Amino acid sequence: MRKLLALVVLAGGVAFAADGSAIFKSKGCASCHQPSADTVGPSLKKIAKAYAGKEDQLVKFLKGQSNPVVWPNKFPIMKAQLTMVKSLPDDQLKALAKFITSHK
């Protein structure tokens, strides 16, 4: 019961401070993005480098409102993933951007 309650609260995205790492895992982002090795997608380190000091631009990217800067030629693969995050509330997207850019 307590577990169920926690899930309901998480789904509503209210009672807990947004956790970027948890969102990253729960949305399946980790299957293509490793911390420091390029796999299907660029490493989080590489993305963090491209977006250093530009968290706002990263939030825009996650909303589908700005162009890719890391591997633009592979953007179609990533574009399909944006449907999972682009309608998240701003605080969750900011937490996600913060988590990504923390990989230095």
Comparison of 42 and 95: residue with beta carbon closer to ligand HEC: 42
CA separation, residue 54 to residues 25, 91, 95 (Å): 22, 16, 13
Residue ranges in 31-60 that form contacts with ligand HEC under rule CB under 6 A: 31-33, 40-42, 47, 58
* 22 part of the interface to ligand HEC, by CB under 6 A: no
Q: At what angle do helices 90-101 and 55-62 cross, to 10 degrees?
A: 120
- Residue span binding ligand HEC (CB under 6 A) among the ranges 7-15, 23-31, 87-95: 23-31
- Residue 90 CB, shortest distance to ligand HEC, in Å, is 15
Residue 31 to residues 23, 26, 34, Cα–Cα distance (Å):
13, 10, 8
Pick 4 or 67: Cβ nearer ligand HEC: 67
